[in-house]
Amino acid sequence: MQSFQEMSREELLREKEELTAAYQKYAESGLKLDMSRGKPSLEQLDISMGMMDVLSKGTDLKCEDGTDCRNYGVLDGIHEAKVLLGDMIECHPDNIIIYGNSSLNIMYDTISRSMTHGVMGSTPWCKLDKVKFLCPVPGYDRHFTITEYFGIEMINVPMLSTGPDMDMVEELVSRDDAIKGIWCVPKYSNPQGITYSDETVRRFARLKPAAEDFRIYWDNAYGVHHLYDIDQDHLVEILAECKRAGNPDMVYKFCSTSKISFPGSGVAAIATSKNNLVDIKKQLQVQTIGHDKVNQLRHVRFFKDIHGMTEHMRKHADILRPKFEMIIDTFERELAGRDAGSWVAPKGGYFISFEATEGCAKAIVAKAKEAGVTMTPAGAPYPYGKDPKDATIRIAPSYPTLEELKMATDIFVTCVKLVTIDKVLESRTDAGSQ
């Protein structure tokens, strides 16, 4: 397929005319589709409805050790829930605290606690002149929102095919003690679907930060969200690697069942070293007497064990896989060879990242919205919402039906072509005027 850059002005204008006519038809179709967030579809939510039946009026609500889950207590979560989530994220149950429904809430609490009370006896961050965080980009916008809320300076670190640029990470953390942490989505990353390589994980574990209170915020949100049974990414377990490297306290590992059971009604957890757990529990025992043990028990009774969860995730994959494959197939058919953008076919996770021609992302997203498709705002995968190249667009395929998504993808591709053609024509006009 001929690239737009190779086409003559007359060829570009002809194609633009055809695309404009198609776009007008889409705009007049009345489509109103919100793809701004990675939400499970109704079909995905339905496969967890059996969870509502495992506990009833006559059900024994005692957990394995005899604790009545209806009452107060068990600050760090019931043991069987720790086992289930520990198996999910490959951590020993003794290294886990079970929280409420949101891992994002745990991350917020962790940053907040560090601001007000420091980390394991270190100076509270609020008393420091400057606090900085490393932010692999493109990344998860809600991570950046937390650090921005607390006034923490964010530093962009480019994502490579193997994970964050570790040469840059190693250099920055070793010479600047104001750098207190780094955000990571290490498996099927948001939004690119990248899984950190073995070497990247091991380099993280061997970091020599200037700040004794430096922590890796390891948000393993998509650890079991595979699209394929056999062709799956593998992630080296970071806690074990840190322990082997002599840095047992350097990582906080977060997870939840938000996209496994029900968003807003899942179970979340943090896994970390014994020293960090002691520090965290000092806050927890002030903050709560215990999180929702009934919901923890509900999850255990429904999934039973990691094998039950694995089978459950196969059902999710069966729903999501056709959506991801349809988008990638459409991109390959309509955009390959056009020099209008690039993409990677992820093996799991919730997103596809599209890299448009520099300076085009905002215009593409705006044009798609005019035709009835609302996407994640351009710039969102970067701190402060500022993509320096205005190129990254996050695509969230999960929520629409397959038919809705097909139409949305056709609209998106049409917008990409139109905006790219305008960019090429504009560049030639600018060049001719010089």
DSSP string for residues in 279-345: HHHHHHHHH-S---HHHHHHHHHHH-SHHHHHHHHHHHHHHHHHHHHHHHHHHHHHTTTTTSEEE--
Asked if the structure places residue 51 within a domain, the reply is no
The CATH number linked to 350 is: 3.90.1150.10
Give the integer Cα–Cα distance in Å for 246 and 90: 19
Exposed (0-12), middle (13-18) or buried (19+): which is 366, by Cβ within 10 Å? middle
Q: Are 132 and 212 within one domain?
A: yes
- Residue where one domain finishes, among candidates 304, 339, 354: 304
Asked if the structure places residue 188 within a domain, the reply is yes
Cα 288 to Cα 75, 76, 94: the distances in Å are: 8, 10, 20
- What are the pLDDT tens digits along the chain (434 aa)? 789 999 999 999 999 999 999 999 999 988 899 999 999 999 999 999 999 999 999 899 999 999 999 999 999 999 999 999 999 999 999 999 999 999 999 999 999 999 999 999 999 999 999 999 999 999 999 999 999 999 999 999 999 999 999 999 999 999 999 999 999 999 999 999 999 999 999 999 999 999 999 999 999 999 999 999 999 999 999 999 999 999 999 999 999 999 999 999 999 999 999 999 999 999 999 999 999 999 999 999 999 999 999 999 999 999 999 999 999 999 999 999 999 999 999 999 999 999 999 999 999 999 999 999 999 999 999 999 999 999 999 999 999 999 999 999 999 999 999 999 999 999 877 555 54
- Residue where one domain finishes, among candidates 273, 304, 335: 304
- Residue where one domain finishes, among candidates 304, 325, 346: 304
Asked if the structure places residue 187 within a domain, the reply is yes
Asked if the structure places residue 316 within a domain, the reply is yes
Asked if the structure places residue 55 within a domain, the reply is no
The two tokens of residue 269 are: 């957890």
Based on the structure, what is the number of domains in the chain? Answer: 2
Q: Is the pTM of this model over 0.75?
A: yes
Q: Are 239 and 105 within one domain?
A: yes
Structural domain range at position 182: 63-304
The CATH number linked to 117 is: 3.40.640.10
Q: Are 225 and 100 within one domain?
A: yes
Task: Output phi, psi for 433, to 5 deg.
Answer: -85, -10
Cα 187 to Cα 38, 63, 223: the distances in Å are: 16, 32, 6
Asked if the structure places residue 392 within a domain, the reply is yes
What crossing angle do the helices spanning 402-433 and 306-334 adopt, rounded to 10°? 40
Task: Output phi, psi for 279, to 5 deg.
Answer: -65, -45
Exposed (0-12), middle (13-18) or buried (19+): which is 395, by Cβ within 10 Å? buried
Q: Are 172 and 245 within one domain?
A: yes
Q: Are 17 and 127 within one domain?
A: no
Residues with Cβ within 8 Å of residue 301, at least 6 apart in sequence: 54, 55
Asked if the structure places residue 423 within a domain, the reply is yes
Q: Are 20 and 112 within one domain?
A: no
| Residue count of the chain | 434
Q: Are 82 and 162 within one domain?
A: yes
Q: Are 197 and 317 within one domain?
A: no
Q: Are 22 and 155 within one domain?
A: no
Q: Are 203 and 334 within one domain?
A: no
Q: Are 123 and 207 within one domain?
A: yes
Asked if the structure places residue 53 within a domain, the reply is no
Cα 369 to Cα 2, 26, 27, 417: the distances in Å are: 28, 11, 9, 15
Q: Are 327 and 296 within one domain?
A: no
